[in-house]
Chains A and B, each alone.
Chain A
Amino acid sequence: EAQVTQNPRYLITVTGKKLTVTCSQNMNHEYMSWYRQDPGLGLRQIYYSMNVEVTDKGDVPEGYKVSRKEKRNFPLILESPSPNQTSLYFCASSLSGASYNEQFFGPGTRLTVL
């Protein structure tokens, strides 16, 4: 089954404790992206990757890091999480760039930073 998977689905952590949210897709997609969803703000793009070893900042990259060492994986790293990073996070992938391509989304990771 073609899908985007994220782990963990739920995470409660404390300020400053480094964490990684994994994302994997099995569709051989070149483009992958991370979003956060907050009430009243919709989905905001954090980082995206056009292909292996190519990453770019989205709308709200501060406080996040990403890497794309393999085509299928695109982990999101919070080196020192803060309460304002409490949010619902979605990973997405598409065949190629964001333009003219639908994105396939993972089920989401709900992160709470205390």
Chain B
Amino acid sequence: DQQVKQNSPSLSVQEGRISILNCDYTNSMFDYFLWYKKYPAEGPTFLISISSIKDKNEDGRFTVFLNKSAKHLSLHIVPSQPGDSAVYFCAASASNNNDMRFGAGTRLTVKP
């Protein structure tokens, strides 16, 4: 039972354009959401997070939007750079629980 879903396995964008990665979740108890970035042969690294009390969090070129009513979050990267090419994982957790649920990942390719 995948409680966190990333329905797009891959995304390709042109350098300088916006990348939008989407994530849906089913468990209404989730109240903390994170995005991780993974390069080949490395472990995932934390990118940005958002708690359920907010609907937007911004860090440089990266912005995460949360729509609680739709149980949907998205990661915007503006402008996209070739170094952003990686697999992006969406993750969620609930404050009354200490397990973490991840989506299947979206492979982003940014073309020069």
Contacts and interface: CB of A to CB of B under 8 A. Distances in A.
Chain A: number of interface residues, binned into ranges: 20 to 34
Contacts of B99: 45, 48, 56, 58-59, 98
B93 A90 contact: no
B64 interface: no
B60 to A, nearest CB: 16
Contacts of A56: 98-99
Interface in A14-50: 31, 33, 35, 40-45, 48, 50
B43 interface: yes
Given A43-B89, A100-B32, A103-B46, A33 B41 contact: no
22 contacts: A35-B102, A41-B2, A41-B104, A42-B6, A42-B102, A43-B89, A43-B91, A43-B102, A45-B102, A48-B98, A48-B100, A50-B98, A90-B43, A97-B98, A98-B93, A100-B32, A100-B95, A103-B46, A105-B36, A105-B43, A105-B44, A107-B42
Interface of B: 2, 4, 6, 9, 31-32, 34, 36, 41-46, 49, 51, 89, 91, 93-95, 97-105
